[in-house]
Amino acid sequence: MIKMNNKKYILFTFLTVLAGAFQPLFAQQKGYYDAPYTRYEANLGTLTGASATTSYSQADIAFEASDRTAVNLRNGNSVEWNITGNFNRLGIVIRYSVAGVINHTDNKTANVQLYVGGELKETLTLNTYYSWEMLKDNGDVNNSTSMTDSWRFRFDEVRRRIDQNYPNGTTVKLVSQSNDLWIDFIEVESVPEPKTAVQQGADASFTGGDLQAFINSNQGKTIYLAQGTYNIGTTLEPKNTKLAGAGMWYTEIYFSSKMSLQGGIHFTQSGQNVKDLSLSTYNNSRHSDNSNSSGYKGFWGSTSNATIENVWAEHFECGAWMAGYSGEGVTSNVTFRYCRFRNNYADGINFCKGANNNLAEHCDFRNNGDDDMAVWPANNQQCYNNTFQYNTAELCWRASSCALYGGYGNRWQNIIVKDNYEVGIRMNGIFGGSCFADGTPNEFSNIDVIGCGTPYNTYGNPDPAVDITTASNCSDLRNINFSCINILNSKFDAVYFRKEGSGNQIRNISMNGITINGTNRYGQNQNSTWGNAAGIRFINTPNISNVSFCGTMANIQGTQIVSAPASGWTYIASGCTSCGSTVVDVASVTISPKQQTIIVGGQIVFSTTILPSNATNPQVNYTIQSGNGVLNNNILTANAAGTIVVRAAAASNAAIYDEATITVNQPSAVGNIEDSGIKIISNNGNIEIQGIEIGEKVLVYNILGIKIYSQTATQNPMFINNLKSGVYILFFENKNISTKIIVSP
C-alpha cells in the first residue's frame, strides 16, 4: 500500500486535469467525450484531516477507485472542491465506499453532510445494500471455482438534484460523520428543466397507479411519465407504446421485486422507444435468491427499430441483455444513446442471439460486474454489424469492457477503457454458439486501454489487457482487425494469444498501429511460473496462421514477446498505420428543410450540410425533440396533427445541431366534396376549381403528404397551374374537407 499526500500521480500525458476536474476523457472524439458532467477526484480536492491512499493490491478498497486512489474520511474529516460552470439546477453524483463489511447482507451505513455554496443541503446516509459482492458465494455457478476471497463492487454511487442556481466557482463539500467512509470522486452537471408531455409529443400521460394497466389501455401511443418514482412489482412490457419521462434526473421506475425475471423493461415488439428516465431496482446481487436462476435486467427481450435514449440504469443483473428467449425474434436496428449503465452485477449491454445492425454510442459504463459492451451469437444465432462507439468504460470488476464471442462485421471504435479489474478487450470462443465467421471483419479501432490486466483474476490466473483466446467450444477464432489501439500501463501482460483446452486455430488477425507502453507498471506480485510481465505472450502453443502485429513497445517490465511461434506470425515495429491524425471538428450543422407543412401520415426526407466539408466525422443523428412522429434515420413520418421539432446533431458533438419545425395538419372529410358545390377539373397539368367561395384557403399536398401549394381564393373559378403528373390531395381549410385528384400530363 502506498500512501500519498493529497495528490494523485497521473501517468498518462494526455489526461487533462483542470482545477481538480477530470475532463471527459482524455482526447476529443474518443470515449463519451461529450458527457454533460465533469468529474472532481477526491484526492485533488481540499482535504481537511483526511488523506489519500493509492493501492494496487486487490485486498484494499482503493484498488477499486479511479486511478486506484481514494480518500478515507473519518468522523469530522472533509473534502471540498470549487466547481466550474454555471448551474441552473445542480446534479451531484458521489462515488463512495463504506468499509468494514463482513457479509454482503450487512448493509453498513455512514453519514456524510453535503454542503453546496457553504450551505448544508442534506445529511446523507450512505449504505452498502448494493455493494460488497463476494463472488465465491453470490449464487453464480460460474464462480464455483473462484480462487479469490477478495471483495468486488466495494464502491457504489448516490446522486442528488438541487433545484437552485449556482454560479461558477461554487464550492461543494463533504463532511464525514463516520469513520469508515471512502470517497473516490464526485461528478457535477447542470440538470436541464424537466420535459413536458407536449415536448415529448405524448398523447397519454401517466401520473400514478398501475403503469402496466395504463400501457395496456393506451396501445400505440407515446406515454408520458411525469416527475416522480413509480414502484413496479414485476416486469414492465411496453408492448407497442413509447415511454417518455421528464428526464433521467426526474422520472424513475423502481422495480421492487427480487424474483428471477420479475423486473426490468421486457421488449416483445418493434418500435418500443424509451427515453428520458432512470431505472433502479431492489435487487442487490447477480443472483439475488442465491441460486443459479438469473436475476433480471434493466432492458431485456428483443425489439427492432427502437431507440433507448437518455436512460440511467443501475443495480440490475445487466443493464441491457438484448436477446429473445420466448419467441420475440432477434434484436435489430436498435440504438442506445446518451445512456448510463452503472453499478450493475453483470453486463452493461450484451447484443446476443442473432442481434444485428444495432448501435450503442455516447454511453457511460462504470463499475459493472461483467462485460460492459458485448456481442455473443448464442444458441447458434449469428450476430453481425453491431457497433459500440464513443463510449467510456471504467472500473469493470470482472471480465472485460469490449467483448466479442463470435460473429462478423461488429465494431468497437473511439472507446476508452480504464482501470478494469481484469481485461480491457477480450475475444474468445469459450462460450460457443455460432462463433466467429468469415465475411466483413470484426473491428476494434481507436481505443485506449488503460490500467487493465491482472496477475490474479477471478480464478487465480493471469489476464492481459487485451485477450485473444481460442477454445474447443468454437471454430477458429478469426477475421478480426485491430487498428490504433493504445495499451497503456497494463497491470500485467499487455496482449495474449492463448489456447484453452484443445483449442482451434487463431487466424486472419491484423493488429496495426498498436502502442504498448508499460507492463506490470504497478509492481504487482508476479505469477511465479511466468516471470516478468510481457508485451505479447503466446500461451499453450496456439495454432497461429496469418496473424500480424505492427506497432511499438516501451517500458516493458520483462521480455517483449514470449513464446512466439516459428511460423504464421509476423511482427513489424515500423511503417504501421498512422494514428492520432488531426481531428477536424464539425463547426456547424444545417438541416433542410427548416420549415414544412405536411398532413398526418405524410413524410419528409431531411438532409444536412456539414461545415467544414472535411470534418473527420460528418455523421449526424436525427431525433424528435417534440411532437408525434417516427424517425427512420432521416425520414420523418407524422403520426398526429400538431408541430414536430426535429433535431439534426453532429454525431461527434451533440451540442452542435440545427432544428426543423414541421407543421402537421389533419385533413378530415367532415363534408362531402360533391355536396359542397365545388367541382374540380384536371387538364394538362392544370386544375380548375369551380364553385369556390372567395376567401376559401386551398392547400395542395403531394403523395408524400408534403404541402406544395397554398393559396386563398380571390376569384371563382380558381386555377392552379403547372403541376407535375401524379396524385395530389386538395384540402379546403374553411370547409374542412379534402379530396384526392389525379393530374395527368
Examine the domain organization and report whether 641 and 707 are in the same domain: no
For residue 164, list its beta bridge partners.
none
Percent of the chain scoring above 90 in pLDDT: 66
Residue 141 has pLDDT above 60, yes or no: no
- Count Cα atoms within 13 angstroms, Cβ side, for 570: 14
The answer to which of 123-132, 247-256, 649-658 has the lowest mean pLDDT is 649-658
Domain CATH number, residue 732? 2.60.40.10
End position of a domain, from candidates 171, 190, 209: 190
Residue 137 has pLDDT above 80, yes or no: no
Q: Please state, in angstroms and rounded to a whole number, the distance separating the CA atoms of residues 228 and 562.
A: 57
Q: Which of 315-329, 596-610, 731-745 has the highest mean pLDDT?
A: 315-329
More confident residue, 609 or 76: 76
Does some domain include residue 154? yes
Examine the domain organization and report whether 610 and 490 are in the same domain: no
Examine the domain organization and report whether 352 and 497 are in the same domain: yes
Residue 526 has pLDDT above 90, yes or no: no
Mean pLDDT to the nearest integer, 443-471? 94
More confident residue, 410 or 600: 410
Examine the domain organization and report whether 454 and 520 are in the same domain: yes
Examine the domain organization and report whether 716 and 612 are in the same domain: no
Examine the domain organization and report whether 592 and 718 are in the same domain: no
Residue 527 has pLDDT above 80, yes or no: no
Examine the domain organization and report whether 48 and 185 are in the same domain: yes
Instruction: Give the list of residues 6+ apart from residue 323 with CB closer than 8 angstroms, or none.
Output: 300, 301, 302, 330, 331, 350, 351, 352, 353, 354, 355, 378
Residue 145 has pLDDT above 70, yes or no: no
DSSP 230-298: EEESS-B--TT-EEEES-TTTEEEEE---STT-SSEEE-SS---EEEEEEEES--STTTTSSSS----S
Q: Which residue has the cell 488523506?
A: 51
Each residue of 60-79: pLDDT tens digit? 999 999 999 999 999 999 99
Residue 1 has pLDDT above 50, yes or no: no
Residue 5 has pLDDT above 70, yes or no: no
Examine the domain organization and report whether 19 and 133 are in the same domain: yes
Residue 437 has pLDDT above 50, yes or no: yes
CA distances from residue 328 to 235, 264, 266, 659 in whole angstroms, order as listed: 15, 16, 10, 36
| Cβ-based neighbour number of residue 51 at 10 Å | 15
End position of a domain, from candidates 512, 537, 572: 572
Examine the domain organization and report whether 430 and 460 are in the same domain: yes
Residue 80 burial by Cβ neighbours in a 10 Å radius (0-12, 13-18, 19+): middle
Each residue of 76-99: pLDDT tens digit? 999 999 999 999 999 999 999 999
Does some domain include residue 293? no
Q: Which residue has the cell 511460423?
A: 567
Each residue of 168-190: pLDDT tens digit? 999 999 999 999 999 999 999 99
Host domain of residue 428: 311-572
The predicted pLDDT at position 292 comes to 58
Say whether pTM exceeds 0.75: yes
Does some domain include residue 245? no
Residue 530 has pLDDT above 60, yes or no: no
Residue 3 has pLDDT above 50, yes or no: no
| Per-residue burial over 369-396, b = 16 or more CB atoms within 10 Å of its CB, e = otherwise | bbbbbbbbbbeebbbbbbbbbbbbbbbb
Nearest alpha carbon to residue 147 among 418, 455, 537, 452: 455
Q: Specify the amino acid at residue 677.
A: G
Residue 2 has pLDDT above 80, yes or no: no
149 pLDDT band (50/70/90 cuts)?
low
Number of domain units in the chain = 4
Nearest alpha carbon to residue 217 among 189, 244, 239, 246: 239
The predicted pLDDT at position 27 comes to 38
The predicted pLDDT at position 7 comes to 32
Do you find a cis peptide bond into 667, omega within 30 degrees of 0?
A: no
668 pLDDT band (50/70/90 cuts)?
low
| Cβ-based neighbour number of residue 612 at 10 Å | 12
Does some domain include residue 288? no
CA distances from residue 200 to 17, 207, 335 in whole angstroms, order as listed: 37, 15, 18
Examine the domain organization and report whether 393 and 480 are in the same domain: yes
Residue 707 has pLDDT above 60, yes or no: yes
Examine the domain organization and report whether 321 and 380 are in the same domain: yes
Each residue of 499-509: pLDDT tens digit? 998 889 999 99
The predicted pLDDT at position 148 comes to 60
The predicted pLDDT at position 402 comes to 98
The answer to which of 325-334, 551-560, 589-598, 665-674 has the lowest mean pLDDT is 665-674
Q: Which residue has the cell 433502479?
A: 280
**Contact predicate 254/229, CB 8 Å:** yes
Helix (H) or strand (E) holding 596: strand 595-599
Mean pLDDT to the nearest integer, 606-610? 90
Mean pLDDT of the chain: 89
DSSP 388-431: EES-EEE---SS-SEEE-SBBS-EEEEEEEES-SS-SEEEE-TT
Each residue of 29-46: pLDDT tens digit? 899 999 999 999 999 999
Nearest alpha carbon to residue 466 among 409, 420, 531: 420
Does some domain include residue 500? yes
Does some domain include residue 60? yes
Residue 451 has pLDDT above 70, yes or no: yes
Does some domain include residue 90? yes
Mean pLDDT to the nearest integer, 522-526? 56
**Contact predicate 444/399, CB 8 Å:** no
End position of a domain, from candidates 572, 600, 628: 572
23 pLDDT band (50/70/90 cuts)?
very low
Does some domain include residue 184? yes
Helix (H) or strand (E) holding 352: strand 349-352
Domain CATH number, residue 611? 2.60.40.1080
Examine the domain organization and report whether 634 and 710 are in the same domain: no
Residues 201, 202, 208, 210: is their CA dihedral positive or negative? negative
Task: Read off the DSSP letter of residue 135.
Answer: G
User: What's the longest Cα–Cα distance across the chain?
Assistant: 99
Q: Please state, in angstroms and rounded to a whole number, the distance separating the CA atoms of residues 484 and 510.
A: 11
Do you find a cis peptide bond into 462, omega within 30 degrees of 0?
A: no
Residues 51, 52, 57, 62: is their CA dihedral positive or negative? positive
Q: Please state, in angstroms and rounded to a whole number, the distance separating the CA atoms of residues 143 and 339.
A: 29
Percent of the chain scoring above 70 in pLDDT: 91
